[in-house]
Structure 1
Amino acid sequence: MLGAPDVLLPPGDLVLVDADLLASQGLRVLLLGRAGMPVDAPGAPGEVTPAALLVIEQKIRDDAAETLRYFAAQDVELKIISGDSAVSVAAVATTLGLPGADQPVDARTLPDGTAPLAGRMAAASVFGRVVPEQKRAMVKALQAGGHTVAMTGDGVNDLLALKDADIGVAMGSGSPAARAVAQIVLLDNTFAALPHVVGEGRRVIGNIERVSVLFLTKTVYSVLLAILIGVAQIRFPFLPRHVTLIGWFTIGVPAFFLALAPNTERARPGFVPRVMRRAVPAGVVVAVASFVTCLLVRSGGEGTPEQDSTAVVITLVMIATWVLVVVARPYVWWKAALVAAMIGGFLLCLLLPVGQHVFEFDTSDTAAVAVAVACGAVGMALVELAWRFSFVDAGERRPHRDGGSRGPDGGSRVMASHR
């Protein structure tokens, strides 16, 4: 017989003392013994006579501790569940600095039922002698507690837990069955790839949200402005080339860079309501301010159509650029350079003779330009207030300088790892 000493031998056997001493050093210990009856007989193996202890030294990857620290910094709780001795698993986890590793739990002492199991899971980090059914129960208990659970494993014993977890992660060298049920397969067999996986997912989700606010804002103000102009039965203030220019400097070019930028902000539920809560008020402000500018500059009746259009474009670009300013937060040097480049590009098109000729701008009417700037400034202030109020109304924290933020619930994520 070859197996775990504390499983094959009765409690109190002197060999278990040596086995526990070795396990406490982080070594994997197996018992080689002679069974008292055939292994396929009912009630096998019967009384086991110890012959030798096989001691296997476990190699810890150099990047393991750094990976655990990364997830701890991201508010991810780590639970190590293993079929090995709880003492051995705890010794290895302690060397990695895992919180709570000094208090391992033997899974054979865990209670049945989701609620009691969830309580024990919350109180401990290391579990040994876990059978496949318990791994599955542990995942369900954590999910019942409101956690999002990622399960890593490589063997057939992990199939049930991998399948039921929110995210199943299998090793490339693991069993074909484990790789088949997992959503992520680590081809290089190292957990060090997981921070990159998390970072890439956050980058995609976070940047899509930023860019969506820009595009939806344009949709809102385009539709609303068209309705207002139609109801008022006045000439549409923009030429097609104006719309192209506005799209260049307030959406197209900035969205390209923002979509590819690093983003460590934690993904949160409520994508659509959050985008709508920020884009719709901004779009309404842009449309109303542009419409008011159009009415004011035309009420004088002295300006040319080019001068009136120029004033409305100035107002719209000012407010739409401020939408870009708030969406791009928090700032690093390249974001500041991007916003400055967009403002500079528009000013060149507005003020240079070649730009005025191509886009039919006329800034000679200083009164109309002053009205446009005033309406734009008011609109920028309203966009800023609406943006700040969107966080307060939802009970959210604005993103910090490093891009991270947490929701009001402070909910945690849990990664259960098979060792």
Structure 2
Amino acid sequence: MTDGAPAPAGGLTSAQVAERVAQGRVNVTDAASSRPLWTIVRTNVFTRFNAILGCLFVLILITGSLADGLFGVVLVVNSLIGIVQEYLAKRKLDRLALLNAPTTRVVRDGRIAEIATAEVVQDDLIELRTGDQVPADGALGQVAGLEINESNLTGESDAVPKQVGDQVLSGTVVVAGSGRFTAVAVGDDAYANRIAAEAKKFTRTHSEIQSSVNKLLKYITWVIVVALPLQIWSQTRAIGDEGWREVVIRSTGGLVGLVPEGLVLLTSVAFLLAAVQLTRQQVLVQELPAVEGLARVDVVCLDKTGTLTVGDIVFEDLLPLDAYDLDDLRAALGAMADDPNANGTLLACAAAARPPADWVRRDNIAFNSARKWSAATFTGRGTWVLGAPDVLLTADSPIRDRVHELAGTGRRVLLLSHTDELLHGQELPGALVHRGLVVLTEQVRPDAEETLRYFAEQGVAIKIISGDNPTTVAAIARRVGLDVPDDAVVDARTIGEDIEQLRPLVERTTVFGRVSPEQKRALVNALQRNGHVAAMTGDGVNDALALKDADIGVAMGNGAQATKAVAQLVLLDGKFSHLPSVLAEGRRVIGNVERVANLFVAKNVMSLIAIVSAALFATPFPFLPRHLTLVSAVTIGIPAFFLALGPNKRRYLPGFLARVLRFAVPAGAVAGLVVFASYLWARSSHGGIPGCAPGAGAATSENPVCWQPSTAATISLLVTAFWILIVLARPFRMWKAVLVGAMIGLAVLAFVLPIAQTFFEFSTPTDLLWQSLLVGACGAAAVELIYRLSPGMRQAGGR
């Protein structure tokens, strides 16, 4: 078979498929749910801060002071933790994504088979049905009422009717009918890959945490650029006569404190572990920031079908109008339902109405959400139309009263009509005679009421945006516990699509019925224009546009492929009740990363104050690198890891970065002043020993008295830093008390164990100890005052 030639009616044979696979003519796409291993290693190792610390580590090694290179070990451990955590998460997410990869129906060896979209080969005969995303490019060979939404390519959301011979392009969506075509362009030659890449960029979820952390890192980078020459100059001036090694060691001590080496790591790990945790609850996170995004959501837009209701429509009754024969109506309904491309409504009718053997279908128009009706012409039987009464009935029809009465009970009502006219294109035939009402019911999800109650308690507003009758939708909403007054129900056919005009309406309305796909999108945009963070849930093709524009799109696992493709979250088992878990995970991530960011930024500010103070007073930097490694490990590194992964049910509060800076900058400044005050006090009291001047506490000195100024500064900093940790860990729980107690115990061991005293060069006579604790306590009291006066800090506490 030559390239581009039409496939035979029976499709390719297994041998022909194998031949094309061997030639690489396959539909391989970049469907990975996470980064490749090399990218994980590169992004965890080759960072600007790792480069800074790496250079400092090399300098320390050159000086021969291996003890002061301890931060290099921490650097390696941090990177390894990040790599291992992300790799393990990657494996789990990749396996889950593979199990839920998009599929395509192909005809091979004369049979229809459902395969992974990536396994489609050139010349495959592909079958399209409603809700499918076209996986490759080609020309249609068979068509049955096929309509395709090409908005991904053209920007026009109107469905395009297709005929035999018309081209179909990958990335477009089938909204009605069915068809078959031969795949001519696959893989890199098709539109799918390029469109997917662009759509992914376009729909990238905004993360306040990531953007705030990136902004912090930019600020800190500039601080390091300024502080580096200042630190080298001041230490050269203060202790240059002791040799270049001492200058390098003291300079490194200050610069190490300016690097937030674990902040990015812990942020990434928090996102990844949240995503992995959600997979255990059958929630596939397709974009990691979506975990945080749902926590920021204050409005959830629901499509009734598939969220409030199970989505399975059950036939309840067929009510003849006037004197029409019930058996004839059942025959007509059964014939319409005998459709190889039947939607859920027709499948429900098919279960209750057998198709008559003597009805022959000549032509048909498939149902779509914009048209809201379907039709079929049968030989000698005329044309039958099944659709929404609001669309098919005239404004003054008395049948409307009956429909309204049934819909008011939460039932779904369709009108079965007949005409002798034939179908012409996609137009509704005229001279319709309304024969009967088809009554359907929807099963309300057992978890819907509890889930909606949770959102109400959390201050999240609910908007139901449905294509069904607004009265029916409102009745179901009331059944699940929503307070829906009559004036909060709107028929969307009366409101248009102008976003500015919709802005006041979306604030006061709870239920929107008869909403077109374009209006769903417009309503979401109107909420966003009003300053809301909007989530949209749905399962049908008619929800895809709104899901793509929403801040967070949530698709049901049993929904259309096109809908799942644009969503950030997919509820694999279709259970709406998982959303509270996603919300809780998002809040945990936001609250915990904020705690961690406060710890790191406070340390950075402390180091900057100490660097500037050392330059102003022409003194050695108060710490050796090993001292800051100890302080960072017990007051930031180890506790931050646990705090970032612990529970936190705090509600989302906007202003992440501003809140961090309001507390961490003054708290860090206090810690810096405490350090220098304690250092100068100890130096004046204990630094006048021969051999200790001018750099009291010099690393090259073997006299323990010379270690005392740095020891005092370390003790005072530990007291203040532990109080910063205690403040940020509030409200206290037993696990937090154990964590802080363990860290304090580790710090104490560094001062009491002889081997640790020698390693860290600590000397703690009793008078120095009490003096240092007093200065540290003053710093702790100042931190407590800052915490109590900081707007939003006390409300920001987690659990």
Is TM > 0.5 for Structure 1 vs Structure 2?
yes
Question: Residue by residue, what CA displacement relative to the aligned partner does 1:7-37 show, whole Å, maximum 9, x if unpaired?
Answer: 2122343433332222222111111111363
Structure 2 counterpart of 1:35 = 419
Tell whether the 8 Å contact from 1:330 to 1:399 is kept in structure 2 after alignment. Answer: no
Tell whether the 8 Å contact from 2:603 to 2:668 is kept in structure 1 after alignment. Answer: yes
The one-letter code of the counterpart of 1:371 is Q
Instruction: Name stretches of at least 5 consecutive residues in structure 2 with no aligned partner.
Output: 1-384, 690-704
**Structure 1 residue 254, shift from structure 2 partner:** 0.6
Tell whether the 8 Å contact from 1:101 to 1:126 is kept in structure 2 after alignment. Answer: no
Structure 2 counterpart of 1:330 = 731
1:86 to 443, 464, 470: 470
**Structure 1 residue 74, shift from structure 2 partner:** 1.8
1:378 to 778, 786, 789: 778
Report percent identity of matched pairs: 50
Question: What SS class does the counterpart of residue 192 from structure 1 fall into?
Answer: helix
Separation in structure 1 between the aligned mates of residue 531 and residue 731 of structure 2, nearest angstrom: 30
Separation in structure 1 between the aligned mates of residue 527 and residue 611 of structure 2, nearest angstrom: 51
**Does the alignment pair 1:399 with 2:795?**
yes
Structure 2 counterpart of 1:412 = none
**Does the alignment pair 1:256 with 2:641?**
yes
Structure 2 counterpart of 1:295 = 680
Separation in structure 2 between the aligned mates of residue 101 and residue 29 of structure 1, nearest angstrom: 22
Structure 2 counterpart of 1:278 = 663
Tell whether the 8 Å contact from 2:534 to 2:551 is kept in structure 1 after alignment. Answer: yes
Question: What SS class does the counterpart of residue 59 from structure 1 fall into?
Answer: strand
Separation in structure 1 between the aligned mates of residue 572 and residue 540 of structure 2, nearest angstrom: 15
| Shift in alpha-carbon separation, 1:239–1:121, aligned structure 2, 3 A | closer
Question: What SS class does the counterpart of residue 168 from structure 1 fall into?
Answer: strand
Structure 2 counterpart of 1:191 = 576
The one-letter code of the counterpart of 2:525 is K
Tell whether the 8 Å contact from 2:591 to 2:796 is kept in structure 1 after alignment. Answer: no
Residues paired across the two proteins, number: 398
| Shift in alpha-carbon separation, 1:138–1:228, aligned structure 2, 3 A | same
**Does the alignment pair 1:244 with 2:597?**
no
| Shift in alpha-carbon separation, 1:238–1:119, aligned structure 2, 3 A | closer
Structure 2 counterpart of 1:409 = none
Structure 2 counterpart of 1:16 = 400
Separation in structure 2 between the aligned mates of residue 181 and residue 5 of structure 1, nearest angstrom: 32
The one-letter code of the counterpart of 1:383 is V
Question: What SS class does the counterpart of residue 38 from structure 1 fall into?
Answer: coil
Separation in structure 1 between the aligned mates of residue 731 and residue 570 of structure 2, nearest angstrom: 33
Tell whether the 8 Å contact from 2:622 to 2:675 is kept in structure 1 after alignment. Answer: no
Tell whether the 8 Å contact from 1:307 to 1:365 is kept in structure 2 after alignment. Answer: no
- Worse-superposed segment, 223-232 or 88-97: 223-232
Question: What SS class does the counterpart of residue 300 from structure 1 fall into?
Answer: helix
| Shift in alpha-carbon separation, 1:286–1:402, aligned structure 2, 3 A | closer
Tell whether the 8 Å contact from 1:82 to 1:129 is kept in structure 2 after alignment. Answer: yes
Tell whether the 8 Å contact from 1:36 to 1:49 is kept in structure 2 after alignment. Answer: no
Question: What SS class does the counterpart of residue 442 from structure 2 fall into?
Answer: coil
**Does the alignment pair 1:178 with 2:563?**
yes
Question: What SS class does the counterpart of residue 626 from structure 2 fall into?
Answer: helix
TM-score (norm 1): 0.87
**Does the alignment pair 1:305 with 2:305?**
no
| Shift in alpha-carbon separation, 1:260–1:112, aligned structure 2, 3 A | closer
Structure 2 counterpart of 1:415 = none
Tell whether the 8 Å contact from 2:492 to 2:513 is kept in structure 1 after alignment. Answer: yes
Separation in structure 1 between the aligned mates of residue 482 and residue 471 of structure 2, nearest angstrom: 14
Structure 2 counterpart of 1:45 = 429
- Worse-superposed segment, 291-300 or 346-355: 346-355
The one-letter code of the counterpart of 1:82 is S
Tell whether the 8 Å contact from 1:38 to 1:44 is kept in structure 2 after alignment. Answer: no
Separation in structure 2 between the aligned mates of residue 82 and residue 258 of structure 1, nearest angstrom: 42
Question: Residue by residue, what CA displacement relative to the aligned partner does 1:55-82 show, whole Å, maximum 9, x if unpaired?
Answer: 2221111111111112112211110011
Structure 1 counterpart of 2:715 = 314
Q: Name which structure has the greater RCO, CA cutoff 8 Å, separation 6+.
A: 1
| Shift in alpha-carbon separation, 1:188–1:109, aligned structure 2, 3 A | same
2:764 to 363, 377, 398: 363
Separation in structure 2 between the aligned mates of residue 243 and residue 360 of structure 1, nearest angstrom: 13
**Structure 1 residue 353, shift from structure 2 partner:** 5.0
- Worse-superposed segment, 382-391 or 313-322: 382-391
Structure 2 counterpart of 1:219 = 604
| Shift in alpha-carbon separation, 1:244–1:44, aligned structure 2, 3 A | closer
| Structure label with greater radius of gyration | 2
Structure 1 counterpart of 2:489 = 104
Separation in structure 2 between the aligned mates of residue 158 and residue 281 of structure 1, nearest angstrom: 48
Structure 2 counterpart of 1:407 = none
Question: Residue by residue, what CA displacement relative to the aligned partner does 1:260-291 show, whole Å, maximum 9, x if unpaired?
Answer: 01222334443333322222212211111111
Separation in structure 2 between the aligned mates of residue 117 and residue 182 of structure 1, nearest angstrom: 24
What value does the CA root-mean-square deviation take over the aligned residues?
A: 2.4
Tell whether the 8 Å contact from 2:787 to 2:793 is kept in structure 1 after alignment. Answer: no
The one-letter code of the counterpart of 1:196 is S
**Does the alignment pair 1:125 with 2:525?**
no
**Structure 1 residue 358, shift from structure 2 partner:** 4.6
| Shift in alpha-carbon separation, 1:253–1:5, aligned structure 2, 3 A | same
The aligned runs of 1:131-170 (5 Å cut-off) are 131-170=516-555
Separation in structure 2 between the aligned mates of residue 390 and residue 40 of structure 1, nearest angstrom: 70
**Structure 1 residue 296, shift from structure 2 partner:** 1.0
Separation in structure 1 between the aligned mates of residue 613 and residue 727 of structure 2, nearest angstrom: 26
Instruction: Name stretches of at least 5 consecutive residues in structure 1 with no aligned partner.
Output: 404-419
Separation in structure 1 between the aligned mates of residue 393 and residue 516 of structure 2, nearest angstrom: 18
- Worse-superposed segment, 158-167 or 235-244: 235-244
1:63 to 447, 465, 477: 447
Structure 1 counterpart of 2:651 = 266
Separation in structure 2 between the aligned mates of residue 41 and residue 227 of structure 1, nearest angstrom: 80
The one-letter code of the counterpart of 2:774 is A
Separation in structure 1 between the aligned mates of residue 788 and residue 423 of structure 2, nearest angstrom: 70
Separation in structure 2 between the aligned mates of residue 41 and residue 9 of structure 1, nearest angstrom: 21
Question: Residue by residue, what CA displacement relative to the aligned partner does 1:87-111 show, whole Å, maximum 9, x if unpaired?
Answer: 1111111011112265422122326
The one-letter code of the counterpart of 2:794 is R
**Structure 1 residue 126, shift from structure 2 partner:** 0.9
- Worse-superposed segment, 254-263 or 148-157: 148-157
The one-letter code of the counterpart of 1:164 is D
Question: What SS class does the counterpart of residue 44 from structure 1 fall into?
Answer: coil
| Shift in alpha-carbon separation, 1:226–1:128, aligned structure 2, 3 A | same
**Does the alignment pair 1:345 with 2:746?**
yes
- Worse-superposed segment, 44-53 or 164-173: 44-53
Separation in structure 2 between the aligned mates of residue 378 and residue 169 of structure 1, nearest angstrom: 51
TM-score (norm 2): 0.47
1:3 to 387, 391, 394: 387
- Worse-superposed segment, 215-224 or 251-260: 215-224
The one-letter code of the counterpart of 1:338 is L
**Structure 1 residue 355, shift from structure 2 partner:** 4.5
Separation in structure 2 between the aligned mates of residue 353 and residue 340 of structure 1, nearest angstrom: 22
Question: What SS class does the counterpart of residue 57 from structure 1 fall into?
Answer: strand
Separation in structure 2 between the aligned mates of residue 352 and residue 400 of structure 1, nearest angstrom: 39
Question: What SS class does the counterpart of residue 66 from structure 1 fall into?
Answer: helix
